[in-house]
């Protein structure tokens, strides 16, 4: 089952490698990872996507929580939450038809064009991972994807629930 874990940790050197260490050492897989300092610069917030059954998920929570640098860890999946991912995607458009088709889909998906040259469009799109994947699939149909980069998911609980120090 797909899980989203949110981790609040000290913004300290080595902290991230310790968390990744837990995953590699204990054989848990990481599908995506998104990390940056929070509004409080002494803290970092990390969102990890992984596939895990209930038993493994419980171990991930406990093992990550055990790290000295980690203040809080929670699983977002399983309760109401919002999640978003950002993708930058560059496509090569060789024909007028292709260019029109790309622009049409940008509107449909509410993506944004960031850079245009005679041969290339670079776009950004935000949304759930599924939406990003769908957009990339459509782009592959109407143009050639030159390159793309995704941030990995980042998420928060809905309502007043929060991960605080």
Partner 1 sequence: MKMMSGAAMVVEALKDVGVTHLFGYPGGAVLDIYDALFAQEHVKHILVRHEQGAAHMADGYARSTGKTGTVLVTSGPGATNTLTGIATAYMDSIPMVVLSGQVPTQLIGEDAFQETDMVGCSRPVVKHSFLVKRAVDIPKAIAQAYYIANSGRPGPVVVDLPKDIVNVQEEHLYEFPTDVTMRSYNPTLKGHGKQIKKTVSTLENAKRPVLYIGGGAIAADASDLVTELAEKLNAPVVSTLMGLGAFSSVHEQFLGMLGMHGTFEANKTMHNADCILALGARFDDRVTNNVDKFCPHADIIHVDIDPASISKTINAHIPVVGSVDEVVRQILAEMASHDFSDQDTKLTDWWEQINDWRSRQCLRYNQGDTTIKPQRVIESLYKHTNGDAYVSSDVGQHQMFAALYYPFAKPRRWINSGGLGTMGFGLPAAMGVQFAHPEACSVVVTGDGSIQMNIQELSTCLQYNLPVKIISLNNRALGMVRQWQDMIYKGRHSSSYMESMPDFVKLAEAYGHVGIKVDTLDELDGAMERCFAEKDRLVFMDIAVDQNEHVYPMQIKFGAMDDMRLSKTERT
**Applying CB under 8 A, which residues contact partner 1?**
9-10, 13-14, 17-18, 21, 25, 55, 58-59, 62-63, 65-71, 165
Instruction: Tell me, letter by letter, the H, E, C secondary structure of the chain.
Output: CEEEEEEEEECCCCHHHHHHHHHHHCCCCCCEEEEEECCCCCEEEEEEEEECCHHHHHHHHHHHHHCCCEEEEEECCCCCEEEEEEEEEEEECCCHHHHHHHHHHHHHHCCEEEEECCCEEEEEEEECHHHHHHHHHHHHHHCEEEEEEECCCEEEECCCCCCCC
Nearest-approach distance from CB 62 to partner 1, in angstroms? 4
Nearest-approach distance from CB 161 to partner 1, in angstroms? 20
Please say which residue, 64 or 91, places its beta carbon nearer to partner 1.
64
Cβ-proximal residues to 31 (8 Å cutoff; 6+ apart), any chain: 2, 49, 50, 51
Nearest-approach distance from CB 25 to partner 1, in angstroms? 5
Please say which residue, 50 or 129, places its beta carbon nearer to partner 1.
50
Please say which residue, 71 or 88, places its beta carbon nearer to partner 1.
71
Nearest-approach distance from CB 82 to partner 1, in angstroms? 26
Please say which residue, 59 or 133, places its beta carbon nearer to partner 1.
59
Nearest-approach distance from CB 16 to partner 1, in angstroms? 12
């Amino acid at each position: 089952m797909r899980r989203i874990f949110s981790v609040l940790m000290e913004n300290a050197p080595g902290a991230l490698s310790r968390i990744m260490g837990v995953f590699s050492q204990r054989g848990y897989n990481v599908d995506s990872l998104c990390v940056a300092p929070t509004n409080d610069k002494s803290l970092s917030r990390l969102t990890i996507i992984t596939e895990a059954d209930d038993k493994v998920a419980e171990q991930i929570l406990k093992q990550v929580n055990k790290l000295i640098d980690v203040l809080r860890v929670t699983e977002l999946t399983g309760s109401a939450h919002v999640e978003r991912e950002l993708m930058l995607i560059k496509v090569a458009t060789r024909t007028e038809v292709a260019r029109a088709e790309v622009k049409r889909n940008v509107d449909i998906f509410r993506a944004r064009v960031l850079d245009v040259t005679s041969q290339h469009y670079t776009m950004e799109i935000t949304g759930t991972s599924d939406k990003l994947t769908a957009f990339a699939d459509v782009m592959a149909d109407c143009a050639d994807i030159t390159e793309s980069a995704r941030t990995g998911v980042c998420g928060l609980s809905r309502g007043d629930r929060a991960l605080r120090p």
